[in-house]
Chains A and B, each alone.
Chain A
Amino acid sequence: MALSDQELREIAYLARISVKEDSLPSLKKELEDILGLFKELDAANTSEVNAMSHPLDLSQPTRKDEVTEEDLRDELLKNAPSVKSGLFLVPKVIEGEN
C-alpha cells in the first residue's frame, strides 16, 4: 500500500510527532512494510470467525460505586512543571471547547 507524503504528515500530526521533511522517504518505506504485513493477514479466511475485541475470554470485573481515593493533590501536583492555585498550568488553550 502506497502512502503519500501528505498522509504521512497527517499521521504525524495526529500523533503529535515532529517529523523532519528529509526523513519522510525512510519513514514511508517502514510504514509501507508494516502495512504489507497486514495485507498478508487479509489472506486468512475469517468468514466463520467472530470479531474479537480482547484476547482473553473473560468478562470485565466491576467494582462497587464507592469513593476509595483520598485527596493526594499536593503530592500529585509535584509531578507538574508548572502549577498555580491547585491547577496544572499548560500552554494557553484557545479553543473554547471543554
Chain B
Amino acid sequence: MKNYSEDWEAVIGLEIHVQLSTKSKLFSGASTDFGALPNTQACNIDLAMPGVLPVLNEEVLKMAVKLGKALNAEINSPTSFARKNYFYPDSPKGYQISQMDKPIVENGYLDIETENGGKRIGVTRAHLEEDAGKSLHDDFEGQSGIDLNRAGTPLLEIVSEPEINTPEEAVAYLKSIHSIIRYLEISDGNMAEGSMRCDANVSVRKIGEKKLGTRTETKNVNSFRFVEKAIQYEIERQIHEIESGNEITQETRLYDSQANTTRPMRSKEFANDYRYFPEPDLLPVNLEKEFIEEVLTTMPEMPTEKKERFVSEFSLSQYDADLLAADKDIAEFFEEVTKVSNSPKLSANWIMGELSAELNNENLNIKESKVSSNKLGQLISRIEDGTISGKIAKDIFEKIWTTGKEVDDIIKEEGLEQVTDDQEIESMIDEVIENNPQQLEQYRSGKDRLFGFFVGQVMKASQGKANPKQVNDILKSKLEK
C-alpha cells in the first residue's frame, strides 16, 4: 500500500549481514558458540594482542562459494582482504578486516515475487568480514562493559543493487536471502538474536527523475516486519521533508520499533572515512577450480528448485509449493508426512493449517513439533482410507499433541472409527427425521437451507463419526421422498 502521492518513487538498497555458523572464528581458533560467559571465547588474536597474526578459516570460503552459486554470482579468485579503520571499544584492533576491491562474491542476482509479480534484484557483492564485540551500557559506575566473545565471528555482508522500490519488495528480497542461507546451512538466520541483520539505504525521487535523491541508512532493524515498517516510515518522512521545502541530510538513522520511527544517530563531527587499505597480514586467496567444484557438489536442492518439484511431483498449487518450500525444515517435514500419508495435498493442508496453528500457539518451530511427521502421516492416511472423518482427525491431532500417543491406539481406545455402514447411518437418519417433523415439512415446502440442519443433527447423533458423504447421499434421498 502506497501511503504517499503517486508522483514519488523510493529507491532502496539493502545491506544484509549474515553471521556464518562456523565452529571457530574467521581468523582465530576461538569458539563462536552463542551465550557463553563474557570474554571466555575471546583469545589473543581476537583481543589484538601485539604480535598475533590472523589465520583464515577454510570453512568460510566454502560457505561464501555456495552463497555465490545460489545468488547466480561470480566467485572472485584471487579474493583479497582489506582493513577498514575506525575506533570503537568493541573492535580491539582499531580496524575491521573486511574486503574492498576483490570481494569473494560479485555480480549476482535474485528473483523475487510480490503481489505485483516477479522482479529481478541485482546483488552487487557479498564480502567476508569480522563481527565486532558487544558494548553493554548497563551501569558499571558510569563506564561501558565490553564483551569480545563475538569479536572475529565470520560475517558475509550481502549488498543489493538499489533496485528495490517498495517496502514489500525489500521484505520479499530479505526473506529470499533468509531462505537461501538456511537451505545452505551457512547461518541460522535468527534475526532476533542478531545472526542476520539488515541495514536499509533509502532515498526518494519524483517518478521520471534520473538522478537519485540523497539517501539515509537505517540500522537496527531486527525482524521482517520491522524492515517493512522502518522503510515505509523513512520513505514517508523523506517525502514529507522535501514537500515541506527541506533537504534530506545524508545520515545514519536508527529504527525505534516501539515508536515506529527512525531517528538520526548522534551526528559525527567529521564524515566517516574508513581509510581502507589492503590487509598486509593476509595474502590474497586463490580459489582453485577443483576447490570450487568440490564445494559445489555439496549444494543442496534450493528453494526455487524444490518449489518446482513440489508442483510437478506432487501436483501442489504454486501457492502451496511456495509456502512449503520457503523453509527448509518445513519442506522436509512435508516430504516425510507425504511419504507416510500418500496424500500430498492433504498433507500440505494439515501442515499449513492445524500444525502451524498449534506451533504458533506454543511458539515452537517445526522441528519441535509434538506431533511427529510419521504420526501426522498416519493420521492423514486414516482419513484417506475412510477409517476416520476429517473432523474426528482434528480431535485426534489434539490428543496426539498433548499425549504423544499412537494414532491407531487413540482410534481404538476411544472407538472413533468412522461409521460407514449404510444401514446404521440410515437408522440414525430415520430417527432424526422422526424427531423433527416441523423442519421436515418446511424443507419439503421449499426451504432448502434446512438440509444443513439435518446433516448437523445426524452428525451430532453419530458423535461426528458418520461418513459425511454417505450421510449427504442417504439424507437427500430420504428427504426427497
Contacts and interface: CB of A to CB of B under 8 A. Distances in A.
Interface of A: 10, 13-14, 16, 51, 53-54, 56, 58-69, 71-73, 76-77, 79, 82, 84-98
Given A63-B58, A94-B266, A54 B140 contact: no
B135 A85 contact: no
B143 A76 contact: no
10 contacts: A13-B269, A60-B285, A61-B55, A66-B24, A69-B24, A69-B30, A86-B38, A87-B146, A88-B146, A92-B144
Contacts of B85: 14
A53 B102 CA distance: 10
Interface in B13-56: 22-24, 28-31, 37-45, 47, 49, 55-56
A61 B273 CA distance: 31
A67 B30 contact: yes
B137 interface: yes
A63 B154 CA distance: 14
B41 A71 contact: yes
B185 to A, nearest CB: 13
Nearest to A56: B283
Interface in B250-297: 252, 254, 265-266, 269-270, 273, 275, 278, 280, 282-286
Interface of B: 22-24, 28-31, 37-45, 47, 49, 55-61, 78, 80, 82, 85, 87-90, 101-102, 132-137, 140, 142-148, 219-220, 252, 254, 265-266, 269-270, 273, 275, 278, 280, 282-286
Given A67-B30, A76-B44, A88-B148, A98 B22 contact: no
Interface pairs A-B: 9 shortest CB-CB: A68-B29, A87-B145, A65-B59, A62-B58, A59-B286, A69-B43, A53-B278, A60-B283, A88-B146
Contacts of A93: 88-89, 135, 137, 144
Given A87-B136, A88-B146, 13 more contacts: A53-B278, A58-B283, A63-B55, A64-B58, A65-B60, A67-B29, A69-B41, A69-B43, A76-B42, A84-B140, A87-B39, A91-B143, A98-B133
A4 B273 CA distance: 17
A98 B134 contact: yes
A69 B29 CA distance: 5
Contacts of B132: 98
Given A67-B29, A85-B38, A93-B89, A62 B144 contact: no
Given A73-B42, A98-B134, A66 B56 contact: no
A70 to B, nearest CB: 8
Given A54-B80, A66-B24, A88 B39 contact: yes
Contacts of A94: 266
Contact of A89 (B146, B220, B254): B146
A56 B273 CA distance: 28
Contacts of A92: 137, 142-144
A16 B86 CA distance: 10
B314 to A, nearest CB: 37
A15 B102 CA distance: 26
B22 A65 contact: yes
A63 B47 contact: no
B39 A69 contact: no
A96 B254 contact: yes
Contact of A13 (B270, B283, B286): B270
A89 B140 contact: yes
B266 to A, nearest CB: 6
B95 to A, nearest CB: 12
B147 to A, nearest CB: 6
A86 B55 contact: no
A93 B28 CA distance: 27
A82 to B, nearest CB: 7
A77 B49 CA distance: 12
B58 A88 contact: no
Contacts of A82: 143
